[in-house]
Amino acid sequence: RAVTPAPQSAHYRPRGGFRNPWVSQAVPGYGSLLKWMLVHRTTRPRPKDPDPSVFPRVRSSFVAQRASGNQLTVTWVGHASSLLQLGGMNVLVDPMWSARASPFRFAGPKRWVAPGIVFEDLPPIDVVLQSHNHYDHLDDATVRRLARKAPEATWVLPLGLRGFVRKRGVRGDVLELDWWEERTVGSLRIAATPAMHFSSRRVGDRGDTLWCGYSLRAESNRGVYFAGDTGFHPEFAAIGERYGPFDVALMPIGAYEPRWFMRYLHMNPEEAVEAFRAVNARLMVPIHWGTFKLTDEAMDEPPRRARDAWLAAGLPIDRYRQLVPGETLTL
Ligand code: ZN
Ligand code: ZN
């Protein structure tokens, strides 16, 4: 095996690798995947998607070079990819600039909307955070491009992924974190937080590397929570207690149907709102929707349902900040 996962991790088993500690049936296996692909999808009508042209893209307004130490900007690139300007530093989370979330250039989920920031227009990047190794989050070509564009950047990864980025030319510091581990990078305190998900890029590598979310805290005390890819698990309140309160939480709201399969991997919009409430944040930016068609719900359903769940929970609508790819939230 190419990676050497840390056997000291509490959620690592020599047989089967990393696993979620909360549910016995953590992640459905290949049998369920085949059942979904070959039976469920072909025998059930699927909701119709809108035309991709309904998803607009706007000109970003992040601070061109560096925001000041107490400023915070969040620019949604699309899917989970976002640019954060926090503590005077520029941070990319799950950078993905390629046309397909796939091991192939000719097949696999295709982008519906061009990345919200043209790659060449990115400001100098200080930190890159990766939540896990799925193709829609960790992209071979984007890692290589960033390694050339930002050779000094520090990469923060869950356990087991260092080799992946090193092989693709990353020469700067690479920090591998287990859940609840923290490091200081420049003016930021970064912690890896638990998530209920799995890792895999090919047959036979499931669980070889870890998955996580992140808490980022600047010296100005501004804080951001990025949930990564996750199902609904019991630790959101613990994350909020340990690292909150956050100014902004980036919460995934898409890729949740059918529930019998996806609930172990991805929250639905109602669960995302519930997790947001547990995690102790002021604003929610919904991510992981409208960019790649991964699952069975319609592409425009997640934000509608998230908004409904938000209002049903009695939360003030000005704290729900749905962005368009390219749009910048400035605090
Ligand atoms: Zn994933
Ligand atoms: Zn994903």
Q: What is the mean pLDDT of residues 237-257?
A: 97
The alpha-carbon radius of gyration of the chain (Å, integer) is 18
Identify the nearest ligand to the CA of 158 by its number. Answer: 1
- State the distance from the centre of ligand 1 to the C-alpha of 68, rounded, in angstroms: 33
- Residue 223 Cα to ligand 1 midpoint, Å, equals 24
Question: Nearest bound ligand to CA 211?
Answer: 1
Amino acid of residue 148: R
Yes or no: say if 250 and 81 are a contact pair by the CB < 8 Å rule.
no
- Check residue 329 and report its DSSP letter: E
Distance 235 CA to ligand 1 centre (A): 18
Q: Which residues contact 302 (CB under 8 A, 6 or more apart)?
A: 253, 254, 256, 269, 286, 289, 290
Does position 276 have pLDDT exceeding 50, yes or no? yes
What letter does residue 172 receive in the DSSP assignment? S
Query: Residue 37: is its pLDDT beyond 80?
Result: no
The alpha-helical segments, DSSP class H, found in 5-149 are: 30-34, 41-43, 140-149
Between 128 and 263, the more confident residue is 128
Per-residue pLDDT, 36: 76
Percentages helix, strand, coil for the chain (3-state, rounded to 5) are 20, 25, 55
Nearest ligand to residue 101 Cα = 2
CA of residue 133 to ligand 2 center, whole Å: 9
Q: What distance in angstroms lies between residue 175's CA and the mean position of ligand 2's atoms?
A: 22
Gap from CA of 228 to ligand 2 centroid (Å): 8
Which comes out higher in pLDDT, residue 161 or 42? 161
> Which position has the higher pLDDT, 94 or 48?
94
Strand order in the sheet with 174-177: 174-177, 154-158, 127-129, 89-93, 81-86, 72-78, 328-330
Q: Which of 219, 128, 210 shows the shortest CA–CA distance to 173?
A: 128
* d(CA 198, ligand 1 centre) in Å: 7
Please tell me the predicted confidence (pLDDT) of residue 1: 43
On average, the pLDDT of the chain sits at: 92
**308-323 pLDDT tens trace:** 999 999 999 999 999 9
